[in-house]
Structure 1
């Protein structure tokens, strides 16, 4: 039985995810919406455009969707789409009872937990299903997807999620996936920070950076950052890793809030989050997360100027 599926958010990750969603042989009808009309125009070359895939000029056109996917940058934007804004109804009002909402962005789990009962009261279900893997895996359809919510809702969402990802991990109750995603991004951010600092030291010592990267990736220092960011984007200086520094800083603020809520006071997470937040404040707007290495270079130069040997 075919469904009508809505997809809101055609950014760097959302667009390739939607393109994979629409490549299925299914008869499902897909409506895509983004507040930037230029992003919708990119879909015109998709083989399904005009048949099972078309654009929606407003949220109102998504009212008949059985499943609605959001892939938005943060909870503030997601909340505005779901709850509405002055003079503009949100999906909570527009969708029919029985519809399922999939929030695939890296939202604040506290906001996810706040929204879930409100949606339930409106007859709607919510699954938080954030992704990991960056743009390359979004394009390949090989993302890792975490999913929190009722088992029946997860099974309902599974066929759609499988079109966008290679790994689906049920995480428990609604909100749990967003919490795990924030903590995962902390571990990644700490690894990238350590790798960037080590690379800075290696460069100052005139070590061969390609060889040093090989050493890291063959040794216990290996992590996702050393495997997918150093040689590819940091050593050559392209800094095009496919994930904004601002979004990383946002995810670390979320993880830091989780730490406080859990009553953990070790301090490492707060140090990491604080450094990324300072980088966000001091770097140019819109830069990639791999430019944390460039920020460390600037920080080191500033410290050396202030405290010469």
Structure 2
């Protein structure tokens, strides 16, 4: 298969890199000529436009920052889409929007998949991230070899749009975990606890999590550069709140999280790194929630391995 990849940003560039590194015939496109040039130097072809890529590729993957950006790209691809073509949306987006655009793509005879990722940019860089895929089963089986190059664990979630629903849920949970970790670490600092010991105490306890094992290290080192910005967090938790409102679920924690992140944006900038949210508590207490010995960036130390499908218990 010849694969087109549109959107070479923080996540997309790493996913596309896994495809290229593993010998996939890859065509790339991005608004940044420098990002495209970097891929061309490594053996990829430069795509002229989304329409040209849909014409010449078997599947086109989009990994873009907003539903509006995805809509603009899909609009260009629709006139030349048709039987045998696949659109794979790897952005984190609104399930209703993916269903709408996917229906238009399917109406041309092409297939559509929403396949967002979860697990952090450092794991996207090594092909060890997790991927959800929402589509019919025949399409899933056709793209599974591609997904297992980009991800370690691949879950077929059901119909188109189901992957996006689950993805915004997981990002909501990750954000909630980040905010509780910020409070926990600050209270431990105020209580005079050694923060390196605190980190290990959490790591071996029932309170540990993926967010703790990754982002707590960046908080404690003081770098707070998780390669994920507050505007993206707001988009994701806002989509989760939208789902709750749609289904008339009266949430209590979610609105508070949205307001805390809004306050962070007011203080540090719309696109500030999300881990800087702890600085609200540092400012309120006068404490520095840092400790020596923690890394300033996340590096995936697991060896790259071909992924596999995860099957739900039935």
TM-score of the aligned structures, taking structure 2 as reference length: 0.86
* Matched ranges for 1:1-309 at <5 A: 3-25=1-23, 28-46=24-42, 49=43, 53-62=44-53, 63-83=55-75, 90-231=76-217, 233-298=218-283
The answer as to whether partners of 2:29 and 2:47 remain within 8 angstroms in 1 is yes
Change (3 A) 1:4 1:209: same
User: Could you tell me how far 1:273 is from its partner in structure 2?
Assistant: 2.3
- Gap regions ≥5 residues in structure 2: 287-314
The answer as to whether partners of 1:283 and 1:295 remain within 8 angstroms in 2 is no
The answer as to whether partners of 1:64 and 1:95 remain within 8 angstroms in 2 is no
Distance, in Å, in 1 between the alignment partners of 2:251 and 2:81 is 44
Deviation sequence 1:111-167 (CA, Å, 0-9, x none): 111112211222221100000111110111011000101111111111111110000
User: Could you tell me how far 1:201 is from its partner in structure 2?
Assistant: 1.5
The answer as to whether partners of 1:244 and 1:289 remain within 8 angstroms in 2 is yes
Residue 263 of structure 1 aligns to a residue in which SS?
coil
**For this pair of structures, how many residues does the alignment match?**
285
User: Could you tell me how far 1:300 is from its partner in structure 2?
Assistant: 5.7
The answer as to whether partners of 1:74 and 1:108 remain within 8 angstroms in 2 is no
User: Could you tell me how far 1:286 is from its partner in structure 2?
Assistant: 2.6
Deviation sequence 1:223-278 (CA, Å, 0-9, x none): 122111112x1011101112122111110000000111122113122222232233
Deviation sequence 1:199-236 (CA, Å, 0-9, x none): 111222232111111111111211122111112x1011
Distance, in Å, in 1 between the alignment partners of 2:281 and 2:97 is 33
- Gap regions ≥5 residues in structure 1: 84-89, 302-309
Change (3 A) 1:41 1:123: same
The answer as to whether partners of 2:5 and 2:29 remain within 8 angstroms in 1 is yes
Residue 160 of structure 1 aligns to a residue in which SS?
helix
User: Could you tell me how far 1:61 is from its partner in structure 2?
Assistant: 2.8
Runs of 4 or more, structure 1, over 4 Å off, are none
Distance, in Å, in 2 between the alignment partners of 1:286 and 1:249 is 10
Distance, in Å, in 1 between the alignment partners of 2:223 and 2:142 is 41
Distance, in Å, in 1 between the alignment partners of 2:284 and 2:73 is 39
Distance, in Å, in 1 between the alignment partners of 2:146 and 2:243 is 29
Residue 221 of structure 2 aligns to a residue in which SS?
coil
The answer as to whether partners of 2:81 and 2:108 remain within 8 angstroms in 1 is no
User: Could you tell me how far 1:299 is from its partner in structure 2?
Assistant: 5.4
Deviation sequence 1:1-39 (CA, Å, 0-9, x none): xx22110000011111111111224xx531100011011
Distance, in Å, in 1 between the alignment partners of 2:5 and 2:40 is 15
Distance, in Å, in 2 between the alignment partners of 1:299 and 1:264 is 33
Distance, in Å, in 2 between the alignment partners of 1:82 and 1:295 is 40
